[in-house]
Every structure is written in C-alpha cells, then in structure tokens.
Structure 1
Amino acid sequence: MKPNKRNKPFYKQFLRLRKNIQDRPKLFKFKKQKWQNIQRYSKNQLKFYRRFQVKDQFQSSISKFASRGNSFQKKFRNNLYDRKLFSLFYGGLKRKYLKKHILKSIQTKQYGNGINDFRYQTLQFFESRLDTVLVRSKFCLSFKSSAQLILHGHVLVNSIPITTKSYILKPNDLIEIILNPKSRQLVKKNLDRSNFWPLPPKHLAINYRTLQILFLYTEDSNFIPVFNHYLNLNSIVANIKRS
C-alpha cells in the first residue's frame, strides 16, 4: 500500500516565498531556526514608518531578487514568484481560476470613467469576492475562517444565505451575519483581535454594531483599496500567458 501523502503546513508557503503576505501573527510563534529569517524580515516590516506605508499598485515593478537579468529562466522565476504571491494574498486561489478571470479582465475593453488599465479591473474583481470582503472588513482574520463562516451558512447577502465563498458581489449588496449568538460572538471576537490595518476600503460601508456591510464598489479609481503589499500584475499576466 502506498503511504498517505501528508499535506505541508499552510505556513510553509510563506517560508518558500520569504514573505508574510497575509500578515499572520502566528508566524512569530514558531521557534525552529528555519523560521528566524522570515520572522526577522517581518518584524522589520512592522516598524511604524513601514507598517503604515501604502503600496501603489500602479507603480513600476522592481524584482525581489537581486539578479533579475534578462534570461528566460530568471524572468520565469520572477513571474512565477509574483503569481504565487498574488494567489496566496487572496487565500490560495488555484492557477486555473486566476488564469480565467485575469485574462477575462484583459479582454474587457471598457473600464468606465476613463479607467483604461486592466490592473484596476482585475483588482476590482478579486476585491468583489465575498470571502475577500469579510476579510477586508475585519469580520474574519483569515481567508480560511471566512470560507468556513460562508460555507456553514452564517452569511446573508440581501437576506439570502450564500454558501459560495467566490460569490461576486454587486454594488449596493447588503452583507450581514445571521442572528445566531455563536456566529455573531465569533465575528465580534475577531473584531476585538484585529488591529484594523490595513484600513477597511472605502467601497465598504460597515456597521460594526449590527454587523452589516454595504458594498459600494463603483467605477472610480479613488475606491481602490489600501494594500500594504505590492502585487506585480504585469508579471502575473506574463506567467499566466506562458502557462
């Protein structure tokens, strides 16, 4: 009989990418020597003048690797790194899912209000996912807990239970937590544990007393969320087109 394959721990993905892309505080609790470098780097990024620095998603890209070069191998490595970083930033999305929706946003020729950049269209789509909205509003501290809350039917959209974490929200959709004491207590506990950085985006009108979210996404560049990590979308597209 073949031995069962053990899944590697979730946090080893941060170790391979050398970046705490989801800002998980649990990463600092690991005591083995292999975690020391990424812990030191993450603590350095949590300094006051760096922690509250907003990353512009439309700036020119600079590779994380010192020897960027022009060879195919180095370009492929950089593009693959950026694609994995983007996938993990949104909870570990599959490559097939990323390819389908990013290429669809590139083919869209009309962006609205003079916005002719596919990067805005791409970010708008992924920020419209139900699980992403729950994480951005601090109702959930991770994409895993957000998915569990949705799959167990504790989230309502326009008074209708939604059990699909990839549900795409539309403007003026109302998201709320069901009137279940355990569910609401869990969300309030997450709010107490959150440090509220990055700040909840402008396209979410949040009522923390009633635990309701009004989705207000419009075709306006001022509604782009605040990111504390840079996502190189040009590099991601280059990797997806090769695959």
Structure 2
Amino acid sequence: MTKRAESKYKINRRLGANLWGRAKSPVNKREYGPGQHGQRRKGKPTDFGIQLMAKQKLKGYYGNIGEKAFRKYYEEAVRRKGDTSENLIELLERRLDAVVYRMKFAVTPFASRQFVNHGHVTVNGKKLNIPSYIVKDNDVIEVKETSKQLAAVLDASQSGEREVPEYIEVDHRAMKGKYLRAPKLSDVPYPVQMEPNLVVEFYSR
C-alpha cells in the first residue's frame, strides 16, 4: 500500500472535512487537525488560504494527485473552450481511476488507483493499468474476468455509502459499465462542497 493510501484520513483531518463521506473517517470524532498542534485555534483565513484549501480538497478527493499533474489539468482546462472550472471537473471525472471509483468497483479513490495499477480493469476490451487515462464518452469499462470475484470488488459494489451518478451506467452483476457523458459540477456527487472556481483563482494569480 502506498504512503498516500496509508495517510488518506490525515487529509480529512487536516482539511477538517469528510472528503469521501465515509462513516469510518476520524474527522467524524475529531474535527481538529492531526499532530501535536492540531488543536490550536486558527485565525481568519486569507483569500490565498481559502483558495489553497479549495485546491487541497479537490486534489485530495481524487487520491491526492501530485501538484505537477494537477497543474497540468488546470492548464488543459484553460486551453479548452468554455468555463475553466467546469472543464477542470470534467477532466478529473474522466480519469480512469475516478471512473472505476464512480462505478463502485473500488471503495475509495486510493483503492481505485491501486486496482487500475494492478491491471484489473479493461477499457473497450483492452487491459489498461494507467489510472490517469482519460476516458471518452461511451467507453466501456469492465473488471477483468479473473478479478470479478475479489472480495474488495464485491464489497465496494454492494456498499450503500454512495450511489452511481447519472452520467455513468453500471451492471454490477457483470462488473461492467459505460461512461455516458461528461458531468457538470452540479452532477458530481461530492460529499462536501467543492469550489473549482477558487482553484482557478489560485492558479491564475
């Protein structure tokens, strides 16, 4: 397991938010940050601090994406026509690991990234082990035949913690789904409020 996966709930406590809406998140019991200084009173955040927090929440939600990769998503969102903040959400939601998570083939974004990395997923019949692969409209994502009975996959698909969004269709008996269309921000079932407009402001300073 990666260090990122081991420390995923530290992200929750540092940001003071249950990013994935999970019942076992420690932020449900301890809303203060981790470490010996976690309970110190915090002053009023600056505009920069608010923008930085919005960026950290969005990065953290998608499995703590690295800064270099995340900035590339922002630059691509700027390059595309339309609203930059909506474009950014679309790009993040098209990541293969994000789609696998949305289809409930993995219980967390961290588990989804690892699941893809280990070669358990096919896209349009071809094995793909690149979590950052950008899924296209009508692409078919399927769990490999030899992986369909893995306990982790079955547990994730049967979990009642979250629902599959409308821009994706899934058959959990076949462990197969289709990415129908790109979502708008309002379509994405975030458990906490995400503010990609503040992320755009952060990078465009």
TM-score range, shorter chain: 0.7 to 0.9
Aligned residues: 193
Aligned positions of 1:54-69 closer than 5 A? 67=44
Are the structure 2 counterparts of residues 92 and 149 from structure 1 closer, same or farther at C-alpha, using a change threshold of 3 Å? same
State the 1:214 CA deviation: 0.8
Partner of 1:195: 160
* Counterpart position of 1:19: 17
After TM superposition, the structure 1 = structure 2 runs for residues 81-230 of structure 1, keeping only pairs within 5 Å, are 81-109=53-81, 116-180=82-146, 183-192=149-158, 194-197=159-162, 199-218=163-182, 221=184, 224-230=187-193
Amino acid at match of 1:200: V
Structure 1 residues 202 and 240: CA distance shift in structure 2, 3 A: same
Cα gap change, 1:162/1:25 in structure 2, threshold over 3 Å: closer, same or farther? same
For 2:107, give the aligned amino acid. L
Q: SS at the partner of 1:135?
A: helix
Q: Which runs of 5+ in 1 are unaligned?
A: 1-5, 40-64, 69-73, 110-115
What RMSD, in angstroms, separates the aligned Cα atoms of the two structures?
2.7
State the AA in 2 paired with 1:38: E
Could you say which residue in structure 2 is the equivalent of 1:240? 203
Q: Does the 8 Å CA contact 1:79/1:239 hold for their aligned counterparts?
A: yes
In the alignment, the residues of structure 2 paired with residue 94 and residue 222 of structure 1 have an alpha-carbon distance, to the nearest angstrom, of: 22
Larger radius of gyration: 1
Q: Which moved more, 1:177-186 or 1:75-84?
A: 177-186
Distance 1:130 1:183, change over 3 A: farther
Distance in 2 (CA, whole Å) between partners of 1:81 and 1:128 is: 23
Q: Post-superposition shift, 1:179?
A: 1.0
Structure 1: which amino acid aligns with 2:157?
Answer: L
Instruction: Measure how far apart 1:125 and its partner are.
Output: 1.0
- CA deviations on 1:65-91 (whole Å, 9 max, x unpaired) are 9845xxxxx111111111101101111
TM-score (norm. length: structure 2): 0.82
Q: Partner letter of residue 76 of structure 1?
A: F
Contact 1:152 1:163 in 2 (8 A): yes
Contact persistence 1:79–1:238 (CA under 8 A): yes
TM-score w.r.t. structure 1 length? 0.70
Shift, 1:196, TM fit? 4.4
Name structure 2 gaps, 5 residues minimum. Answer: 33-41
Tell me how far apart the structure 2 counterparts of residues 142 and 225 of structure 1 sit (CA, whole Å): 16
Determine if contact 1:150/1:165 at 8 Å carries over to the other structure.
yes
Which residue is 2:51 aligned to? 79
Distance 1:227 1:22 in 2: 7
Residue pair 1:140, 1:190 contacting (<8 A) in 2 also: yes
| Aligned twin of 1:52 | none
Q: Percent identity?
A: 25
